[in-house]
Structure formats: structure tokens, C-alpha cells
Amino acid sequence: MKKYFKRPIYLTLFLLLAGAGILHATMSQKEVEETERRSANKEGMESNAAESAEISWIDFETAYDSYKESGKKVFIYIYTDWCSYCKRMENSTFTNDSVIALLNENFIPIKFNAESKEGIRFMEQEFNFVNQGNRGYHELAAALLQGKMAFPSVVFLSENFEMIQPIPGYQPPENMRNLLDFLGNNLYEEMTWQEYTDSKS
């Protein structure tokens, strides 16, 4: 199998979070609606200023060439055009004022179509589109998701662009805020995901 990254991929957190249940992030329709309702009730109405705010998405080349010395972790949102839950997450989670603020202030946010046909140079390697069946996939998406092509997915990289954690599935605003806090602030070094979620309840 092709080696996608020259730098080592660290799996300790992956195994830790898998055991704690964080990887089972895909939610049923009923769970999604219930979580969104609780989140909406908790937050109330957003201000006009917050509604106009947007995530400052950038591309891979810009992220690596211009921001690798920023000291920020990398957040990658991987989607496809046909994915209904991707659209749902874009219209709910990624329009939430708290999520927008956390991503813009604490992360390098990248939005990436897993079926993009454009070649990408990232971390001194070339990644291209692979024709397969009716659609195909991008090599970089396969590398970041470690071959598990589920959409939507988000991927966290360290300040040095090393793998922290790929997380599949739709994430409502409240879940996303918790993930950004837990992984972005290195809380996973102090506690398990279960301990973190218990502390928030």
C-alpha cells in the first residue's frame, strides 16, 4: 500500500479514543434531531453579527506553506457533493457562532472535497484523483482517513502537521465544540474522552 506521509502517524490517541467511543460518532436520525434541539434550546437566538460570520477555510498548499509556523493545530473537514449529512453539518454546525470562533481562532481550518479531481501537493508529496467505479476518490482523502472513506469526517493534525485523530460522522454544534475543546486544548493528555464528556454533563 502506498505510504502517504513521510512523517510517522501516531496511533496512541486513535486507540484511546476508539476505546472510549469517540470513533462511533455517526448518529441516527433521531439522535441527530434530539441533539440539535437541545443545542438550539441551550444557545437561543444568535446575534446578527454572529450569523454573518464565516469559517476562514483555506487550502492545503496555503496551510502548509504559510501557516506551518503558526503554532495552531489543523482541522480538516472532508466531504462530498452528494453527502446529505455533509450539507446538514455545513448548514448547522459550521454556521454556529461558537464553532466558527473556535475554528478561526485556534485552528487552521481546511475544507476538502474527497472526490476533487485537482492534484494537491502537501507535505512535499503529490496526491491525485483515482478513478474508481462511478465516482472515484482523492488519494489525500484516503490517506487522511486511513482508508476508511466515511462522510462527513473531520481530521485533526498537530501543530507539526502530524496525525492526531480522524473522526467520522455528522457532528452537531455541541459535539463539535466539545471535540474542538478536547483535542484543541490537549485535554486528551489529562483525561479520557468519557471523563471529559462526564465532566460536561
Residue 53 has a pLDDT of 87
pLDDT at 196 over 70: yes
Render pLDDT for 152-182 as a digit per residue (tens, 0 to 9): 999 999 999 999 999 999 999 999 999 999 9
Render pLDDT for 26-39 as a digit per residue (tens, 0 to 9): 455 555 555 555 55
- Report how far residue 152's alpha carbon sits from residue 24's, in angstroms, rounded to the nearest whole number: 13
CA distances, 196 to each of 3, 21, 26, 74, 188 (Å): 34, 12, 19, 21, 8
- Cell readout for 139 is 488519494
Question: Where does the chain show beta strands of DSSP type E?
Answer: 73-79, 107-113, 120-122, 125-127, 129-130, 137-138, 153-157, 163-168
- Report how far residue 103's alpha carbon sits from residue 2's, in angstroms, rounded to the nearest whole number: 31
Class of domain 12-42+68-200: alpha beta
Domain boundaries, the chain: 12-42+68-200
- The share of the chain scoring above pLDDT 70, in percent, equals 74
Max mean pLDDT among 17-21, 30-34, 147-151 falls in: 147-151
Residue 10 has a pLDDT of 36
